[in-house]
Amino acid sequence: MRKITTVLTLIILGFPFRPAAAGEAATIMLAAAASLRYSLVDELIPAFRAKHPRITVEGTYDSSGKLQAQIENGLAADVFMSAAPRQMKALVDGGFISAAEVVNLLENRIVLIVPAGGGTRVTGFADLAAAETVALGDPGSVPAGQYAREALTSLGIWDLVSARASFGANVTEVLNWVAEGSAEAGVVYATDAATTPKVRVLAGAPEGSLASKVLYPVAPLKGSIHPGEARLLVEFLQSDEALAVFEKYGFTPNR
């Protein structure tokens, strides 16, 4: 009866529904923040597939804001993992995700980076306006950019920094600009900075400059045509095995 009720609910809400039969092969899509790409593609998705050979996980990785908009406009994602609660909340409010199924899984930090081999007058967030060129995520859609704006606003220098900033479409783009030396400094997640020796970290966000922790929530989509498989992936990402991998890539489990 519960299964029938779930199916009818999805049909009433206008979502397609074609559950995989027990043991049947299924392909699900994971829409995840760009900063999660390496940990997911290199280790976690293969590890999940090893446990569930019949389930193929396809990934799409971009800024959380872009992924949110794509889901709202029909992207057939089964699981969403955001780099901030804001985009997840928008999808909950829009009826795409159940609030009861959202898990605030990981914590990250934003850091100030510069090219590894270059000189700079910048010593930390407080004097970032001294940089000639700054790379930031677009605060309109990139959580790392939103956190950077919050931190710099609290320091009273957002207007000065943003006037000389180039805004990337996602945090990976910001990282690459600094790594190649086209920007004197930039703000990315600590986990992104750790992926390349071409940048060095000058400082983390000053104490008290952010109102809340940098959290990464994950949840299955109500419109998934493979809800059981989507929930299996979300459960796996909460496992001790998966959390150990995330920690290796610089994330902190949100306990």
Q: Which domains, and CATH codes, for the chain?
A: 2-107+214-253 (3.40.190.10), 110-204 (3.40.190.10)
Q: How far apart, in whole angstroms, are the C-alpha atoms of residue 218 and residue 99?
A: 11
Give the best-scoring range by mean pLDDT among 3-7, 50-54, 191-195: 50-54
Give pLDDT, residue 22.
56
The arithmetic mean of pLDDT across residues 8-24, rounded, is 48
Q: What is the pTM of this model?
A: 0.81
Please give the helix or strand (H or E) that residue 47 lies within, else none: helix 45-51
Q: Is 14 exposed, middle or buried (0-12, 13-18, 19+ CB in 10 A)?
A: exposed
Give pLDDT, residue 13.
41
The arithmetic mean of pLDDT across residues 199-215, rounded, is 94
- CA separation (Å) from 44 to 23, 34, 95, 159? 22, 15, 28, 40
Beta bridge partners of 56: 27
Each residue's pLDDT tens digit, 85-121:
999 999 999 999 999 999 999 999 999 999 998 789 9
Q: How far apart, in whole angstroms, are the C-alpha atoms of residue 29 and residue 169?
A: 21
User: Are the C-beta atoms of residues 174 and 188 closer than 8 Å to each other?
Assistant: yes
Quick check: 156 pLDDT over 50?
yes
